[in-house]
């Protein structure tokens, strides 16, 4: 499985070179085989006898962070969607993106995103999952902002990243608390500790943090606002992100952790209510849009809300309906995004107000659209897969186990959201392909797309029809395993079209069709309702206000300390270090003074230290650059003398070399700086400088004393005393350590000193040459 996750990243490394051949062969042709081979590899696991597989690869075992990949029914469903839809998206992009585009960038971002999504759904380790999770945010940011020269693309990319990364950080907090509670980073091992988690005092925080991550990623109300703006990405990206990948990551997260939280009452309340509200709001707002991709964006929001609600229900019927609709949604939504891209590509616009009557010019595209839109609408026809999962959704909403208010209200809200789903589906198809032709308003004369661009949506629509005709074809060998991964009590569920006239779900579907058709036909009469709801209220305005205020505050803070003064910068850095370090060490009881085992102080040591102190103080009062540097050098050379006194000649030599190099560099630099002049700082500034300098010096002194006085670990010196001669064959312990036991460190230190010496020689020669000229 690690092959599937890492291969897209490895291939991405070669794309810049391969993209140079794009004039002869489209870069997408090279990329096409990556998801296709991954898809073929995982298809072999589909079957009624499938059992979960765990692969483990060591990474940071001391922290419990390893590449643990777990393939069960749920992850298999998502892996096949990611790789299968990914294959079709790459094929579609070959004909959609012109060779003049930055194809190298596009496919590197796409492969990076594909790898990240595969890592998310296959990872069993919490923190590895989080790593891939954030990689999806970064790569989707790059994909959405692919046309970076457009202001709306940059806006949509930033918006999606800010919201999803905020949720990701929240999710990380939940993961850390889960690790604290269970003592493991394995999700499967956590599932075995459900009682421990549910009895933890951290449970509300864990649930809230993880759901915030899931809701932001899957565009649940009110975090849905980033998804419509993500439509600025190229259509292949939209088709991929919003049918099978990014927006379904939150769905996957909730499904993966359902075995842990499903018995917790608040899980049902939060997830099901958020899902139902998202379904209703997304479908309601979709009818208001005029851009084809915007209609589909809000329809995606509503469909994700529907799936989220079913996961919140938690019953065996609801869980099966959720995984079934995940599959169905990928087929009809992926094809619809491609249809929208074809319309835009062949007419030059996505504005539905300018479109109409395109079925005459684009009969194949119109045929694909009618199957996909009617499936999305849940029209009761036996060859449309969307109807089956929609009816299972209605059935699950009726038979909820909780008898409370929300359980009674949910079926009515499910019907309300589905009515508007029917309306926007009909609006999308009939507004684009039927009615009056508006050729004069189109930038391009419409015509059918090339066959290569039609292949991918054709295959997806065939999936819609085949699943509709044979709904149980993928049940036992595929969907059943996914349902069992979410709810271990899931039973085999036989899907059929007709349940009899006594089926409540059938009557709910008929109500949806009747009222939906009525609202669609009378849309012009009631569309004024949008002036009242949402009216002028907009979550986008809230987001824009927050971002604008953050920018204003950050600019004000930056202007306050970015004055161009090196002295100000050093004061801020040293002052902050002083305060933070002192407070932390004081709170953690880090200061310690132990006078045991101290050697006697000799007269020569006192004399050297006094000279160093005098030199340090004298540096402050020097009025000449060279004099200040030379006096400061006395401090460094004094340290070297102390090392000699303490019988550490190797360290003394190192100090001498470093100090010599430093003095030479200072002399060269100060030669070009203005001459020192008497300070004109105010008394307040001088006092602040004195506090910082004395305080920082005191802190470093206390840290040094505490480091000497604290013994957190056993000293390693005894090991060197006992083994230096045995392992290194030398009587001088220090030499053995430097040459044998830490030979590489010494080698690199010598290399650094050599490079520094060469740099000084080069600077001096360069100065002399300039003087000669």
pLDDT tens, residue by residue, 748-767:
878 877 887 787 777 777 76
**What backbone phi and psi angles, to 5 degrees, belong to 765?**
-65, -40
Environment class of residue 345 by beta-carbon count within 10 Å: exposed (0-12), middle (13-18) or buried (19+)? middle
pLDDT at 216: 96
Find the helix or strand (DSSP H, E) in which 57 lies.
strand 53-60
Mean pLDDT over 6-34 rounds to 92
Question: Which candidate, 39, 45, 42, places its Cα nearest to that of 477?
Answer: 45
Helix 385-398 with 504-521: angle, nearest 10 deg:
120
Q: Of all residues in the chain, what percent carry a pLDDT higher than 90?
A: 56
* Residues 6+ positions from 313 with CB-CB distance below 8 Å: 268, 272, 319, 396, 397, 400
Residue with tokens 């794009």: 22
Thinking of the domain 567-712, which architecture would CATH place it in?
Up-down Bundle (1.20)
Residue 360 has pLDDT above 60, yes or no: yes
Neighbours of 443 (CB within 10 A): 8
270-285 pLDDT, tens digit each: 999 999 999 999 999 9
Residue environment code for 22-49, b if the CB has 16+ CB neighbours within 10 A, otherwise e: beeebbbebbbebbbebbeebeebeeee
Check if the beta carbon of residue 411 is closer than 8 Å to that of residue 508. Answer: yes
Residue 403 has pLDDT above 80, yes or no: no
Q: Which residue has the higher pLDDT, 43 or 407?
A: 43
pLDDT at 500: 76
DSSP assignment of 149-199 equals TSHHHHHHHHHHHHHHHHHHHHHHHHHHHHHHHHS--BHHHHHTTHHHHHT
Residue environment code for 638-647, b if the CB has 16+ CB neighbours within 10 A, otherwise e: bbbbbbeeee
> Where is average pLDDT lowest: 220-234, 505-519, 533-547, 647-661?
647-661
Q: In the numeric block, which tokens belong to residue 94?
A: 């070959």
pLDDT at 408: 87
Residue environment code for 346-383, b if the CB has 16+ CB neighbours within 10 A, otherwise e: bbebbbbebbbbbbebbeebbebbbbbbbbbbbbbeeb
Tell me the pLDDT band of 425, cut-offs 50, 70 and 90.
very high
Cα 111 to Cα 15: distance, rounded to the nearest angstrom: 10
Residue with tokens 């999803």: 164
Cα 506 to Cα 498: distance, rounded to the nearest angstrom: 9
Mean pLDDT over 12-22 rounds to 91
Q: Which residue has the higher pLDDT, 535 or 394?
A: 394
pLDDT at 372: 96
pLDDT at 650: 72
**What backbone phi and psi angles, to 5 degrees, belong to 99?**
-65, -15
How many angstroms separate the Cα of 357 from the Cα of each of 349, 485, 523?
Answer: 14, 46, 19
Residue 665 has pLDDT above 80, yes or no: no
Neighbours of 752 (CB within 10 A): 12
Q: Which residue has the higher pLDDT, 432 or 730?
A: 432
Task: Enumerate the β-bridge partners of residue 65.
Answer: 60
pLDDT at 23: 85
Q: How far apart are the first and last CA of the chain?
A: 66
Tell me the pLDDT band of 735, cut-offs 50, 70 and 90.
confident
pLDDT at 463: 95
Cα 431 to Cα 356: distance, rounded to the nearest angstrom: 6
pLDDT at 767: 60
Cα 739 to Cα 751: distance, rounded to the nearest angstrom: 14
Residue 773 has pLDDT above 60, yes or no: no
pLDDT at 724: 81
Task: Enumerate the β-bridge partners of residue 291.
Answer: 351
Residue 772 has pLDDT above 70, yes or no: no
101-147 pLDDT, tens digit each: 889 999 999 999 999 999 999 999 999 999 999 999 999 999 999 99
| Alpha helices (H) along 451-599 | 451-469, 480-486, 504-521, 523-526, 539-561, 566-587
Check if the beta carbon of residue 99 is closer than 8 Å to that of residue 23. Answer: yes
Check if the beta carbon of residue 358 is closer than 8 Å to that of residue 436. Answer: no
Task: Enumerate the β-bridge partners of residue 71.
Answer: 53
Find the helix or strand (DSSP H, E) in which 313 lies.
helix 292-313
Cα 494 to Cα 489: distance, rounded to the nearest angstrom: 16
Cα 525 to Cα 469: distance, rounded to the nearest angstrom: 38
Determine the Cα angle at 652 with ends 646 and 657, to 5°: 170
Check if the beta carbon of residue 35 is closer than 8 Å to that of residue 43. Answer: no
Q: Which residue has the higher pLDDT, 247 or 497?
A: 247
pLDDT at 768: 60
| Alpha helices (H) along 183-291 | 187-191, 194-198, 203-217, 226-229, 235-241, 246-261, 265-286
Q: In the numeric block, which tokens belong to residue 385?
A: 């897969």
Helix 126-144 with 246-261: angle, nearest 10 deg:
160
Residue with tokens 């939280």: 261
Q: Looking at residue 289, what DSSP letter applies?
A: -
Check if the beta carbon of residue 327 is closer than 8 Å to that of residue 81. Answer: yes
- Evaluate the omega torsion of the peptide bond into residue 746 and state whether it is cis, within 30 degrees of 0: no
676-727 pLDDT, tens digit each: 666 677 888 888 888 988 998 899 888 888 887 777 777 777 788 888 888 8
> Where is average pLDDT lowest: 19-28, 89-98, 129-138, 620-629?
620-629
Q: Which residue has the higher pLDDT, 737 or 11?
A: 11
Per-domain residue ranges for the chain? 263-460, 532-562, 567-712, 715-773
Check if the beta carbon of residue 297 is closer than 8 Å to that of residue 159. Answer: no
Cα 575 to Cα 689: distance, rounded to the nearest angstrom: 9
Task: Enumerate the β-bridge partners of residue 351.
Answer: 291
Cα 765 to Cα 460: distance, rounded to the nearest angstrom: 71
Ranges of beta strands (E only) in 62-158 are 65-71
pLDDT at 512: 95
Residue with tokens 């606002």: 225
375-402 pLDDT, tens digit each: 999 999 989 999 999 999 999 999 887 7
């Amino acid at each position: 499985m690690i092959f599937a996750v890492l291969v897209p990243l490895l291939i991405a490394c070669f794309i810049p070179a391969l993209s140079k051949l794009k004039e002869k062969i489209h870069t997408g042709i090279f990329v096409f085989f990556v998801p296709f081979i991954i898809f073929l590899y995982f298809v072999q696991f589909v079957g009624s006898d499938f059992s979960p597989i765990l692969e483990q690869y060591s990474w940071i075992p001391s922290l419990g962070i390893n590449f643990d990949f777990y393939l069960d029914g749920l992850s298999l469903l998502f892996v096949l969607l990611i790789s299968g839809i990914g294959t079709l998206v790459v094929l579609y992009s070959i004909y959609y993106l012109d060779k003049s585009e930055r194809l190298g960038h596009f496919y590197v971002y796409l492969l990076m995103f594909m790898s990240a999504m595969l890592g998310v759904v296959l990872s069993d380790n919490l923190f590895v999952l989080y790593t891939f999770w954030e990689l999806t945010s970064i790569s989707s940011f790059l994909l959405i902002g692919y046309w970076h020269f457009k202001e709306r693309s940059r806006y949509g990319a930033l918006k999606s990243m800010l919201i999803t990364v905020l949720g990701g950080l929240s999710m990380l907090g939940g993961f850390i608390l889960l690790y604290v509670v269970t003592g493991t980073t394995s999700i499967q091992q956590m599932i075995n500790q459900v009682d421990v988690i549910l009895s933890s005092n951290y449970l509300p925080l864990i649930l809230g943090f993880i759901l915030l991550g899931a809701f932001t990623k899957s565009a649940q109300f009110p975090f849905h606002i980033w998804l419509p703006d993500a439509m600025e990405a190229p259509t292949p990206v939209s088709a991929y992100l919003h049918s099978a990948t990014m927006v379904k990551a939150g769905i996957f997260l909730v499904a993966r952790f359902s075995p842990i939280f499903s018995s917790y009452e608040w899980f049902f309340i939060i997830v099901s209510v958020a899902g139902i509200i998202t379904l209703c709001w997304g479908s309601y707002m979709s009818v208001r849009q005029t851009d084809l991709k915007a209609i589909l964006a809000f329809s995606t929001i509503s469909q994700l809300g529907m799936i989220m609600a079913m996961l919140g229900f938690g019953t065996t019927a609801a869980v099966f309906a959720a995984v079934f609709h995940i599959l169905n949604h990928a087929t009809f939504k992926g094809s619809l995004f491609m249809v929208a891209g074809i319309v835009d590509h062949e007419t030059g616009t996505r504005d539905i107000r300018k479109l109409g009557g395109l079925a005459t010019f684009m009969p194949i595209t119109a045929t694909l659209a009618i199957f996909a839109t009617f499936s999305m609408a849940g029209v009761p026809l036996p060859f449309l897969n969307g109807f089956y999962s929609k009816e299972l959704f209605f059935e699950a909403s009726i038979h909820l186990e909780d008898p409370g208010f929300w359980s009674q209200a949910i079926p009515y809200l499910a019907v309300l959201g589905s009515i508007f789903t029917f309306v926007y589906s009909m609006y999308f198809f009939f507004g684009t392909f039927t009615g009056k032709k508006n050729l004069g308003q189109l930038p391009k004369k419409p015509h059918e797309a090339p066959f290569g661009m039609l292949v991918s949506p054709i295959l997806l629509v065939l999936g819609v029809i085949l699943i509709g005709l044979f709904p149980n074809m993928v049940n036992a060998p595929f969907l059943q395993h996914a349902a069992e991964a979410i709810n271990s009590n899931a039973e085999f569920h036989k899907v059929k079209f007709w349940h009899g006239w006594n089926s409540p779900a059938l009557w709910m579907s008929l109500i949806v069709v009747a009222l939906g058709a009525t609202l669609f036909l009378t849309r012009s009469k009631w569309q004024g309702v949008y002036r009242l709801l949402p009216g002028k209220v907009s979550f986008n305005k809230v987001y824009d206000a927050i971002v604008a205020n953050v920018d204003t505050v950050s600019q004000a803070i930056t202007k306050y300390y970015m004055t161009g003064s090196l002295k100000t910068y050093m004061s801020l850095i040293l002052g902050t270090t002083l305060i933070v370090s002192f407070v932390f060490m004081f709170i953690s009881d880090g200061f310690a003074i132990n006078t045991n085992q101290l050697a006697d102080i000799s007269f020569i040591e006192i004399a050297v230290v006094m000279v160093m102190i005098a030199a340090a103080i004298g540096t402050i009062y020097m009025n000449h650059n060279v004099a200040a540097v030379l006096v400061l050098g006395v401090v460094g050379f004094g340290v070297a003398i102390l090392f000699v006194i303490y019988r550490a000649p190797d360290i003394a030599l190192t100090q001498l070399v470093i100090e010599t190099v430093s003095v030479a560099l200072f002399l060269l630099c100060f030669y070009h700086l203005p001459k020192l002049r008497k300070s004109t700082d105010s008394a307040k500034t001088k006092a602040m400088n004195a506090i910082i300098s004395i305080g920082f010096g005191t802190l470093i002194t206390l840290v040094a004393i505490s480091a000497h006085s604290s013994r957190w670990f056993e000293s390693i010196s005894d090991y060197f005393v006992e083994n230096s001669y045995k392992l290194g064959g030398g009587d001088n312990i220090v030499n053995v350590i430097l040459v044998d036991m830490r030979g590489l460190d010494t080698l690199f230190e010598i290399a650094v000193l050599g490079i520094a010496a060469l740099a000084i020689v080069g600077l001096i020669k360069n100065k002399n040459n300039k003087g000669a000229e």
